[in-house]
A and B are shown apart, each in its own frame.
Chain A
Amino acid sequence: MNINTTKIISLLFFIFSAFYLYTAYQIQVFAFDENAPFNARTFPIYLGYTGLFISGLKIILPEPNTIKVDHKNLEYKKTVILIVIAIIYGATILKVGYFLTTSLFLFSSYYFLGERRWVLMFLLSFPFVAAFMYLLHGVLDIYLRDPFLKSIGVMG
């Protein structure tokens, strides 16, 4: 099962390299560059072939060390939840703004990881983000667009 997973990854890499190589051949170059010793597609083409060669070897050759991954002990549920929270964060940050989304991102991450000390969770999210935002916006002069704070009149 585990040996197969490494082989499957190698196979996926082989397919990826084939796709990369196909795309490399599709790169449009200038007409006068077409037969030049080196153009925009030369290096990617070499890379594509190298990828095919190495992943092909990995698929064919026997596995020297078996990697044992005990999936029963892996915390997939919480990992997926955190990834989903990060995706929601990415989807909302431009519309809602840095302060609210980042604070909620931190607060919900603490919650889903099993934390229940509410005061500490609050302190390490909303005031923490406010302080960090002040550092970026106020001290380092990095502009952070924030429609939410603008709507309540905190930011100009």
Chain B
Amino acid sequence: MIEGILIGLTTALTLQNILMVMVGCFFGTIIGMLPGLGPMTAIALMIPITYGFDPATGLILMAGVYYGAVFGGSTSSILLNAPGVPGTVATSFDGYPMAQQGKAGKALAIAAWSSFAGGTLSAIYLLFMAPSLSKVSLSFRSPDYFALMILGLTAIAAFSSKGQFLKAMMMVVLGLMLASVGQDSLSDITRFTFDNMNLTDGISFVLVVMATFAMSEALTIILKRNDPTSAAKQVSLTELGSIKINKEERTKMYKTIPRSSIIGFLIGVLPGAGATIASFLAYGMERNVVNDEEKEKFGKGSVNGLSAPETANNAACSGSFVPMLTLGIPGSGTTAVMLGALLGFGVQPGPRLYMTNPEIFWSIIMSMYIGMVILLILNLPLIPYIARILAVPKNYLIPLILFFSVTGIYVMSFNNFDIYLMIGIAVVATFLRLYDFPMPPLILAFVLGGLMEENLRRSLLLSNGSWEFLWDRALTACILLTTILIVIWHVYKTMFKKTKN
């Protein structure tokens, strides 16, 4: 492992890669800060740029963007009460009241330090957990992978749908359907192309991500610009107050951070769960753990209430890399985007990545830590200036997002069919979003579609067409049982809620 860490450090600490982490953190913070734009959009916008680099550098850039965007999301939660991403909703519970009390600078500093500590601790957990899990996952066979993908898709549908499980499952199926367009990987038979040559190679992953996130988010912002529910700016963006944290507040954070980081990391590792659940769980747990006097402050600007979700949120981000790096199966929508980018580089993540491309494996892990340090150094002193970005008029912001989306696609294919296809998918995605159809399950399914078909093909061929492979091995059966339990739990929860109502 020491050798691996050194390989990772050597790769991550080159001048170019440090620069990439810095650029990634900076742009990620800016994009993530803008309400409505989250890490997935930030990473999607970066993908066309990363194709000019080697895989390690490209991924380091994307990891930087990821962390930056998560931090940026917290900033808009605290200052505008408008979380950029669901993962920072819990941050606004105490961050925004604190900002309203004239302590916006302090709230941002607590968020920055908690993010840093959460990210650092989880990078350490990742360092120890990823290699061992890689070794275990070498024993996985095609049926296990197939079952694991079903679990991942069901879990993301169950967790990301806000009680609308069937809607999320419809998005999963739609994602798999979109992935099936183009040539069949084994026989080269074209499917669903309708004799259109532009569809022979299938639909580009970047196109789907750009359409469902960047472009559709820009369209949603215009569509909802007159919505009175959009957050009004009640906190001054120019006078944020001191960013110093006093001794009493530090003591509170020392207790909160370790427990929240463990919760965050473990939740992040689970397929589909991710930062949102982690931050809510950590917030809830912290509220139960603190004394009655502190409990009263929750929701009114509590230090513990702000620190807990921020720590867990960042820890979950690192945790979500575990299944992606070790099993090749992303645990969240954001890591699904990164997996797609990895496949674009010709790198197949999974247990063998650890052996075949140790420099990529380790440099991502090491760059996470470097990213945390840079994020803190870069963002803490720049908070007062960065906050002003929130005042960028939407009249400029929206066309620029559209510009980067369209250019990103045009530069990759040089044909206008892809532009039309992207506009079409973006319009449908915008409409679906209005009615709460979640997009992350679609992306995860789109990325996993090819792999899922491949593993099902192998499993069915090996078992001579029999579906017994699903329960032949204990591991496969256990994974499928977990999937069934998730579905039962979800149905039970929905029914229980209805009965209660």
Contacts of B420 in A (CB 8 A): 87, 90
Contact of A79 among B184, B223, B464 (CB under 8 A): B223
B169 touches A54 (CB 8 A): yes
Q: Mark A71-111, 1 if CB is under 8 A from B, else 0.
A: 00111101100110011011101100010001001100110
A51 touches B164 (CB 8 A): no
Across the A-B interface, how many residue pairs have beta carbons closer than 8 Å?
A: 168
Q: Mark B143-176, 1 if CB is under 8 A from A, else 0.
A: 0000000000000000000111011011001101
A75 touches B435 (CB 8 A): no
* Residue of A29, A50, A83, A106 with most chain B CB atoms under a 10 A cut-off: A83
Contact of B224 among A73, A90, A91, A140 (CB under 8 A): A73
Known: A29-B187, A93-B410. A38 touches B402 (CB 8 A): no
B19 vs chain A, min Cβ distance (A):
15
Quick check: is B461 within 8 A (CB to CB) of the other chain? yes
Contact of B395 among A44, A93, A114 (CB under 8 A): A114
Docked Cα-Cα span, A143 to B418, in Å, equals 18
B459 vs chain A, min Cβ distance (A):
9
B177 touches A47 (CB 8 A): yes
A73 touches B228 (CB 8 A): yes
Contacts of A74 in B (CB 8 A): 223-224, 226-227
The 6 closest A-B pairs by CB, nearest first: A37-B465, A109-B399, A90-B419, A40-B184, A115-B395, A113-B395
B222 vs chain A, min Cβ distance (A):
5
Q: Which residues of A contact B (CB under 8 A)?
A: 5-6, 9-10, 13, 17, 20, 23-24, 27-30, 33, 36-44, 47, 50-51, 54-55, 57-58, 61, 64-65, 67, 69-70, 73-76, 78-79, 82-83, 86-87, 89-91, 93-94, 98, 102, 105-106, 109-110, 113-115, 120, 124, 132, 136, 140, 142, 144-145
B460 touches A38 (CB 8 A): yes
Known: A39-B187, A43-B180. A105 touches B403 (CB 8 A): yes
Looking across the interface, which residue of chain B has its beta carbon closest to that of A35? Answer: B465
Contacts of A33 in B (CB 8 A): 187
B170 touches A115 (CB 8 A): no
Known: A69-B435, A89-B419. A43 touches B456 (CB 8 A): yes
Docked Cα-Cα span, A106 to B186, in Å, equals 43
B222 touches A90 (CB 8 A): no
A64 touches B395 (CB 8 A): no
A47 touches B180 (CB 8 A): yes
Q: Which residues of B contact A (CB under 8 A)?
A: 52, 162-164, 166-167, 169-170, 173-174, 176-177, 180, 184, 186-187, 189, 191-192, 219, 222-228, 393-396, 398-400, 402-403, 406-407, 410-411, 414-416, 419-420, 423, 427, 430, 432, 434-437, 452-453, 456-457, 460-461, 463-465, 494, 497-498
Known: A9-B437, A20-B177, A89-B419. A142 touches B411 (CB 8 A): yes
B170 touches A82 (CB 8 A): no
**Extra contacts besides A102-B407, A113-B222 (15): CB < 8 Å:** A20-B192, A38-B461, A38-B465, A40-B186, A42-B456, A47-B177, A67-B436, A75-B224, A78-B222, A82-B398, A98-B410, A105-B399, A109-B398, A110-B395, A115-B395
A58 touches B494 (CB 8 A): no
A42 vs chain B, min Cβ distance (A):
8
Looking across the interface, which residue of chain A has its beta carbon closest to that of B404? Answer: A132
B435 touches A6 (CB 8 A): yes
Contacts of B177 in A (CB 8 A): 20, 44, 47, 51
Docked Cα-Cα span, A82 to B225, in Å, equals 14
Contacts of B176 in A (CB 8 A): 47
B189 touches A29 (CB 8 A): yes
Docked Cα-Cα span, A109 to B225, in Å, equals 15
B416 touches A23 (CB 8 A): no
B166 vs chain A, min Cβ distance (A):
5
A140 touches B52 (CB 8 A): yes
Docked Cα-Cα span, A20 to B396, in Å, equals 40
Contacts of B460 in A (CB 8 A): 37-38, 42
Known: A61-B166, A64-B494, A79-B219. A23 touches B192 (CB 8 A): yes
Docked Cα-Cα span, A135 to B209, in Å, equals 24
B280 vs chain A, min Cβ distance (A):
18
A90 touches B423 (CB 8 A): yes
Question: Mind listing 6 A-B residue pairs with CB under 8 Å?
Answer: A27-B191, A65-B164, A82-B219, A82-B398, A93-B416, A145-B414
Docked Cα-Cα span, A8 to B226, in Å, equals 26
Docked Cα-Cα span, A115 to B393, in Å, equals 9
Contacts of B437 in A (CB 8 A): 9
Docked Cα-Cα span, A54 to B192, in Å, equals 21
B432 touches A37 (CB 8 A): no
Looking across the interface, which residue of chain B has its beta carbon closest to that of A125? Answer: B399
* Residue of B407, B463, B497 with most chain A CB atoms under a 10 A cut-off: B407
B411 touches A93 (CB 8 A): no
A113 touches B394 (CB 8 A): yes
* Residue of A70, A87, A90, A144 with most chain B CB atoms under a 10 A cut-off: A90
A58 touches B187 (CB 8 A): no
A64 touches B170 (CB 8 A): no
